[in-house]
Every structure is written in structure tokens, then in C-alpha cells.
Structure 1
């Protein structure tokens, strides 16, 4: 039996949380992974080692998605790494996961917090994806991360949710414009998840955890495996005909 050609995914913010889980879920499906990290190289290298233990290849590259001035150099690194590690010029899947949360009411949100959120989670994603387009194979896939908070509201997350609303609109435009290259583009929108996101508030605060669980049809908050597995499944060949969609993975939160 001839083994299929290795698929390669680039997952931003993959040293921890949902990005890490996604990278590992992809590796379990025999997909190689380019892991990006902003500051913690040790964590990123640990993810690379875990992927290699699963039998897939992986490398870690530093990337700050808020700093567009570094994107040309980063893309050059990706291009060289594809050649050195996989002897190819393009990769298959881009998962725009890198981001962070800011808890502040509308009245208390500072301009600096607003700019940091939009630079990382809107401007950064827009121009990073643009720069990487020549390296994405025709017939490839892009997944952008949103949130249930772009559909429902929770006081204190107005600016954060706005960035994800922008990403959902961008997803539809990318799906339309990149369709001519057979590149499918979708959004995954998680609900409340037990990670260190937002200081680990859902994971570490029993009252907050219980509150979100009570608002969720399936009776609990999510765990990283709920999201990484969903992204890996969306990127499988069985789902090649899905594009331009917002897919909520929340266990039925705030129905």
C-alpha cells in the first residue's frame, strides 16, 4: 500500500492551550506541524517533542502576530523550513489560533488594550494570512478562531468579542476570494473552555465554571480536546466541501 503524501499544518500560538491541543490532534492524524510561539520557546519545543512521539514531524518558529514588521522574515523562515524539513515549497493548512483575552467593561477598556487586541487578532491575522498565501497549496485550508461571544454577550468582553466578529467577516471574504484556488476557509467558535486563557478563569474558578456549565446544553464547560479534535476533523478530506462557515463548538452554550 502506497502511503499518502504528508500534509503539513501551520498552527499559530501552538505552545499552549487550544493551539497546542490542535497541533497534537493534527499529529494524531499523521499531519506534520509548524508550531509558532510568541515568547516561551521551551513550551514550544515540548510540543514539538510530543508531536514527534506521535510519529509526525514538527518544528517551532517564533512569531508575534501583533508585530507585522516581522512577517516577511517569518515567511522566509517558513519557506526555508519547508525545504529543509519536508523538501517542499508549500504547506496545506493554516490555523490562525494565536490570541489573548482582555477582561474590561466597555467603560474601562483602554485604548492601549483595544489596540493590542486588534493588532494581534485582526490586523495580524489579516496580514499574516496575506503574506503566507503563496506558501499555501491550492486546495488547502484555513481555519480562523472566533468565540461564542461573537454571537452572545458577556459584560467585560466587548473589545475582545469585536475582534472575533471581524474575523468571522474576514473568513467569509477569504472563502469567496480564495475559492478560485480551491482553498476552503472556515471559523471555529469555541465556547467556555478549561485552559489558561484569560488567566485560567474558567478552569480555575469553580463558580465561573459552574455558571457556564449551567448555561450549556451538554451540562459542562469545554476542554481543549473538544476543540483541537474538531479543528482536525474539519481539516480532514471528508470536510473538503465546507467553506465560509462559522462552526460553533460550545456544547450548546447560551442556546
Structure 2
């Protein structure tokens, strides 16, 4: 059985990606930060459909913990799937916060960098020896790094996501001798718990975002999770080094 690692899968896009990947007959190791209950919900949903999943804690902003996480992955692979490698890595975990350029503190900038760029860089580096030849990596960026999603207040967030988009191309270049494909996806406004559950706290912003979206609504987690699952599967076997916007035509 193929196995995937999906970071930040206790809710939202990561949770959807984990479930959609599992529906394709793939085992899933999913990670969570503070929301252990959400991660266990994801595991339960996967098991209910006959799949296998393991939830592990991970703070992608603390790269010093990555070797211990790799050891936990090795144990989970061995105990649950009798394997010493895995096939798919989805770098999804992150956080979002609006801050105008003049209000962005060095502390916030550094946190964005640790979680959104340094984290995926060194987590992938740490796990790369365990990633099987012919595998796939999907990095979750944001259309805030593209002209279509350019909005005031996301200079630091968008810059790190843009860095992840460039990193994706370099990963694709350097991993290609092993047949490992690397792509990124750039979601638009999606109903997740990002920015402390902002969509639930400020529902009035939804109609305005929907009005700016060609397909007439904001995204749902499964709109993104399905694309991640497809890119990581056989359907995506001839796609690498691409960044795909998944936004329903935001600002089209």
C-alpha cells in the first residue's frame, strides 16, 4: 500500500487532502499542531471508509523537532504498513494573519518565515531519505503570491508563499533523477479555520469574496483537497514543477 504524509490535517484543506488521498487506497500519516481532536476526527473519517491513518504531533515552525518526527514516522510506517518508505508528502501546515506592511513586526515576519518557508524546506529535507523513488510532493502555497490574489495586508504572508512556489521548482529539478514529482497549488479564498477561524467570526466578508470569484462562491476544503489528491496520484504522473491556482477564477 502507498502511504502519504499530510501536514496540518486536523481541519480545512489538510483534512480534506488526507481524506481524499485515503479514498484512493493510500495510507495516511497526518500531523496536527494544537488541534489533536480535529486530527483524530480525520483519522476516524478515514477509518470509517476502510482506510488506515495515524496522527502525529508536529510544529512545522520548530525545525529542531524534525529528526524526532522522522523517527516517529519510521515507527508508524513499520508498525502500521510494514514499510520503511512513504510515497507522497503534502506540505500544507501553516497559519495566516493579515498585517499591513507598516504594521508587520519582525517577530511576525520571522514566524511566517519559520512556518511557511523554512518549515517545508527542512521538513522535506529531513524526510527525503524516506521518500520512495517515483513519489510526489505537493506544496500548498496561496494566490496571495500571484497577481490575481494580491490584496493589501499580506506582504509578509504572500512573500513566504511566493518563496515556497519558487522552492517547488528547485525541488522538482533536484528530485527528478529519482522520479519524484514536485508541484504546488495556490488556493484562493477557502472556507477554512485560517486566521483564528476568520470566516466563522466575520461571515460578512464571504459575499464580497464570492462576488470577486468568477464561479460565484468561495472555495470549500474539498475543492482544494481533490486537486492535491489528483496531483499526487497516477493522474498527475506527467506533471512536475507546476504551480496551479485553485481559486474558482478569483479576480478573473
Q: Specify the alignment match of 2:81 in structure 1.
A: 86
Aligned residue runs from structure 1 range 1-255, under 5 A: 6-152=1-147, 153-255=150-252
Unaligned stretches of 5+ residues in structure 2 = none
Q: How far does the alpha carbon of each residue in 1:70-106 deviate from its partner, in whole angstroms, 9 at most, with x for none?
A: 1111101101110111000100100000000011100
The 1:206/1:61 distance shift into structure 2, 3 A limit, reads: closer
The DSSP-based 3-state class of the residue aligned with 2:204 is: helix
Deviation at 1:206, TM superposition (A): 3.6
CA contact (8 A) 1:13 1:19 kept: yes
CA contact (8 A) 1:102 1:113 kept: no
Deviation at 1:204, TM superposition (A): 4.7
Deviation at 1:238, TM superposition (A): 1.9
Give me the CA root mean square deviation. Answer: 1.1
Name the TM-score, length of structure 2 as normaliser.
Answer: 0.96
Name the TM-score, length of structure 1 as normaliser.
Answer: 0.95
Deviation at 1:203, TM superposition (A): 5.0
Give the Cα separation in 2 of the matches to 1:147 and 1:203: 20
Give the Cα separation in 1 of the matches to 2:143 and 2:37: 31
Deviation at 1:40, TM superposition (A): 2.3
The DSSP-based 3-state class of the residue aligned with 1:13 is: coil
Give the Cα separation in 2 of the matches to 1:238 and 1:16: 25
